[in-house]
Amino acid sequence: MIPASFEYHRPADISAALAILDEYGDDARVIAGGHSLIPMMKLRMADIEHLIDLQDIGELKGIFVEGTKVTIGAMATQHELIDNGDIARVAPILHEAALQIADPQVRYMGTVGGNVANGDPGNDMPGLMQCLGATFHLVGSGGTRDVAARDYYEAAYMTDREDDEILTAISFNAPEGGFAYEKQKRKIGDYATAACAAIVKIDGGICTAASIAMTNLSDTPIFSAEAGAALEGTACDATAIDAAVAAATGAIDPTEDNRGPVDFKMHVAGTIIRRAIERAVSRA
């Protein structure tokens, strides 16, 4: 498995990277950790003439927690996320989910930005970021703009990001309440058969806020506002959870693959969503 030839660029800052993107347009691609892109290049399923390595761009790095505001540079790796004590404290769902991504070696290289940016429905971070209500920060030659994670994904590998834009950071407010990232996979290193992120806030026995999102159960991550709504205002009893699971499974559209047929995935999704909600409720 040998990739085709390309030109390699390693810009030192964002403006240099944007200049290269502008110059080569469709023929250029940015590379972060490369653990999705390089296998595709080796299988010659991605044809890239100009590869723009973002590793030297300091502006894209770092994890910042200021009070309840969390900002994650696009080039922060999954390993850095797992290793970061502030994240474990203010957004433990991120810590829990990152540990379920790929394997140790891949997590050293794989970045949060790479995971959310390319629109691979198998990636875990997009659903999680939708659950968190995160904002993606983009920059292009026309300037910067923000897109809500819940509005970013259009179809498999199709996103709101323009070809000449780079995703620079992700930000969100630290979630409150109980949380869970539940994922079923065939083995370590596999994408999810079904995965669900759940955050549930309970005050005085009543759910005041709930957020449910799912991974690899449609051609995009799925945020189900209805599922959250089904829990809000309830005591998260069996009836409410049933309603939330029904709402969430109503929003997904899985396809058959080697992990199994659609009826199986629908059933497993229901189970995984239920477990995520129940675990989140138990921690709320």
Partner 1 sequence: MNDMAPSREERIEGLKGLGSSRKRVEDARFTQGKGNYVDDIKLPGMLFGDFVRSPFAHARVKAINTEAAMSVPGVLAVLTAKDLEPLGLHWMPTLAGDKQMVLADGKVLFQGQEVAYVVATDRYAAADGCEAVEVEYEELPVVVDPFKALEDDAPVLREDLEGKMEGAHGPRKHHNHIFTWEAGEKEATEQVLGSAEVVAEEMVYYHRTHPCPLEPCGCVASMDKVNGKLTIWGTFQAPHAIRTVVSLISGIEEHNIRVISPDIGGGFGNKVGAYPGYICSAVASIVTGKPVKWIEDRMDNLMTTAFARDYWMKGKIAATKEGKITGLWCHTTADHGGFDACADPTKFPAGFMNICTGSYDIPTAYLAVDGVYTNKAPGGVAYRCSFRVTEAAYFIERMIEVLAIELGMDAAELRRINFIKKEQFPYQSALGWEYDSGDYHTAWDKALDAVGYDELRKEQAERVEAFKRGETRKLLGIGLTHFTEIVGAGPVKNCDILGLGMFDSCEIRIHPTGSAIARLGTISQGQGHATTFAQILASEIGLPADSITVEEGDTDTAPYGLGTYGSRSTPVAGAATAMAGRKIRAKAQMIAAYLLEVHDDDVEWDVDRFVVKGNPERFKTMKEIAFASYNQAIPGIEPGLEAVSYYDPPNMTYPFGAYICVMEIDVDTGTHEIRQFYALDDCGTRINPMIIEGQVHGGLTEALAIAMGQEIAYDEMGNVKTGTLMDFFIPTAWETPNYTTDYTTTPSPHHPIGAKGVGESPNVGGVPAFSNAVHDAFRAFGLRQSHMPHDHWRIWKIANSLGLHG
Partner 2 sequence: MGKQHYQINVNGETKDVLAEPRELLIHTLREQLDLTGPHIGCETSHCGACTVDIDGKSVKSCTVFTAQVAGKEITTIEGLGTPDEMHVLQEKFREHHGLQCGYCTPGMITRAHRLLQENPNPTEEDVRFGMSGNLCRCTGYQNIVKSILAAAAEMNASKEAAE
Residues that bind partner 1 (CB under 8 A): 1-2, 4-5, 44, 103, 184, 186-190, 193, 258-261, 263-264, 267-268, 271-272
Q: Which is nearer to partner 1, 36 or 71 (CB)?
A: 36
Is residue 39 a contact point for partner 2 (CB under 8 A)? yes
Is residue 79 a contact point for partner 2 (CB under 8 A)? yes
Contact partner, 184, from partner 1, partner 2, none, Cβ < 5-8 Å per class: partner 1
Is residue 62 a contact point for partner 2 (CB under 8 A)? no
Is residue 109 a contact point for partner 2 (CB under 8 A)? yes
Q: Which is nearer to partner 2, 77 or 130 (CB)?
A: 77
Fill in the per-residue mask, 246 to 275: x = in contact with partner 2 (CB under 8 A), - = not in contact.
------------------------------
Whether the CA torsion 53, 86, 176, 252 is positive or negative: it is positive
For the bound state, the minimum distance from the C-beta of residue 251 to partner 1, rounded and expressed in Å, comes to 20
Q: Which is nearer to partner 1, 69 or 267 (CB)?
A: 267
Q: Are 152 and 165 in contact (CB under 8 A)?
A: no
Q: Which is nearer to partner 1, 69 or 186 (CB)?
A: 186
Q: Which is nearer to partner 1, 10 or 275 (CB)?
A: 275
Q: What's the token pair of residue 60? A: 């894209």
CA dist., res. 164 & res. 282, Å (int): 44
How many helices (H) and strands (E) are present in the chain, helices listed first?
12, 14
- Amino acid identity for residue 76 in this structure: A
Q: Which is nearer to partner 1, 73 or 121 (CB)?
A: 121
CA dist., res. 126 & res. 150, Å (int): 9
DSSP calls for 177-214: SEEEEEEE-SSTTPPPSEEEEEEEEEETTEEEEEEEEE
Task: Count Cβ atoms within 10 A of the Cβ of residue 145 and give its class: 0-12 exposed, 13-18 middle, 19 or more buried.
Answer: middle
CA dist., res. 90 & res. 92, Å (int): 6
DSSP state of 11: -
Residue of 111, 110, 63, 118 whose CA lies nearest to 88: 63
Contact partner, 263, from partner 2, partner 1, none, Cβ < 5-8 Å per class: partner 1
Contact partner, 6, from partner 2, partner 1, none, Cβ < 5-8 Å per class: partner 2
For the bound state, the minimum distance from the C-beta of residue 240 to partner 2, rounded and expressed in Å, comes to 34
Is residue 103 a contact point for partner 2 (CB under 8 A)? yes
DSSP, collapsed to helix, strand or coil, labels residue 16 as helix
Q: Quick one: how far is CA 226 from the chain centroid?
A: 20
Q: Select the span of 19-27, 35-43, 164-172, 250-258 touching partner 2 (CB under 8 A).
A: 35-43
Residue of 225, 193, 221, 230 whose CA lies nearest to 212: 225
Binding test (CB under 8 A) with partner 2, winner from 27, 53, 59, 219 = 53
Binding test (CB under 8 A) with partner 2, winner from 19, 38, 46, 225 = 38
Is residue 2 a contact point for partner 2 (CB under 8 A)? yes
Q: Which is nearer to partner 1, 106 or 148 (CB)?
A: 106
